[in-house]
Amino acid sequence: MKPETHTEVPSSRNAVRDHFDQSDPDQVVERAQQLMLYSEPLSPVDDEYAADGPALVHPRDHQVPLRAYLASALTGLSEEKRNTIFAISDRVNQICLETDIELYEPRKKTDPVHNPGVSDADVFKLDHDRVVTCDLVIHLCHYPSTGAGEELGFAYASLVPIVLLAPGNQRLSRMITGIPSFKLEIRYETPEDLNTLLAKRLLEIRPYLEERRITREQHEVNIVGDRVRDLRLRANLTREELAGRVGLTAESIRHLEENVDATSNPPLTHLRALAAALKTTVAELIVPDLNEYILSQIQASLYERVPARFYDRMTPRDRNTIMRRYLYRVLDSLERKY
């Protein structure tokens, strides 16, 4: 009979096993939150389909950098109301820092009291570009503001998610609560409630914000601006002349031509006016490689009309000859029709 042998378990494995045998699941979650720099504990998920016990969050290997924009009333406020907004802004900024989100606060750049020298046009451009390129707009709903309403309009047009912060049962404008896009409404009673609720919701939506950021970065291109500039120069038009034809300013044309589409984000009405002024179509302005697309569609249509056994044996020159004849027939048909 062979003697019984024992395989020695490495000490490191024993240490890991002992650690988890002695650790309470709630302690593991608490320690994970500390490592991820979230200062507020996660509240239990109020969901009848949620699993029993604590939910572990699996962090990424690295955080995708995120940026938020703080919209609030600034113009025409009393000193007391301004101090209220500033105190809440400081608290929101701290929460964003703890959740690894960079918060842009207009009061530190374009405040009407402390920065009166910034021109109206510069305020519009700076705040517009900050909103449409951010990952999240946080709106303090405490006092009415036409400027903040405009910023929420920018966010909606660019599909930027919105968080509405409001105290208690304060009634909000239906123009805000009715925005038909991604938005969260957070009601709080005390500053401590604000800390807990905002930190929790930012943690919940962060995966969505990160995926949106990654997708957006893959489409940081300037198609519309390049097309407008090219067609404008072909027509021997200055920016001032083109702006006069469509009802915009030369600065708005420059902004359109020099920025990626996600930043300029021209409305459809602007695109239609520009297309008419440049004697083209909206499709020509927005579709990448439109000529190549049209040719590919024509080739596909031609391929359906020529037996494959003949088409595949043709030389490129013969194919081009057939293509030209096919196009002549199409153009002739259009002339007779119209």
Separation of alpha carbons 113 and 136, rounded Å: 26
Question: Smallest Cα–Cα separation from 271: which of 281, 258, 257?
Answer: 281
What letter represents residue 154's amino acid?
A: F
Is pLDDT above 60 for 37? no
Say what the pLDDT of residue 200 is: 94
Q: Which carries the bigger pLDDT value, residue 313 or residue 215? A: 215
SS3 292: helix
Identical fold at 66-217 and 224-286? no
How do residues 73-101 score in pLDDT, each as one tens digit?
A: 999 999 999 999 999 999 999 999 999 99
Cα dist from 37 to 32, 44, 198, 202, 203, whole Å: 9, 19, 15, 13, 11
Phi and psi (nearest 5°) for 139? Answer: -105, 120
Residue 229 scores a pLDDT above 90: yes
CATH superfamily of 224-286: lambda repressor-like DNA-binding domains (1.10.260.40)
Average pLDDT of the segment spanning 159-178? 94
CATH number corresponding to 66-217: 3.40.50.450
pLDDT tens digits for 110-163? 999 999 999 999 999 999 999 999 999 999 999 999 999 999 999 999 999 999
Q: What is the pLDDT of residue 322?
A: 72
In the prediction, which pLDDT does 55 show?
Answer: 40
The string of pLDDT tens digits covering residues 53-74 is 444 444 444 578 999 999 999 9
Q: Which of 9-18, 58-67, 218-227, 276-285 has the lowest mean pLDDT?
A: 9-18
What number is the average pLDDT over the span 246-269?
93
Interval 24-33: pLDDT, tens: 656 655 555 5
Instruction: Spell out the domain ranges in the chain.
Output: 66-217, 224-286, 304-337
Q: Which of 78, 77, 69 is CA-nearest to residue 145?
A: 77
pLDDT single digits (tens) 285-330: 987 765 666 666 666 666 666 665 566 667 777 777 777 777 777 7
Residue 45: the pLDDT is: 43
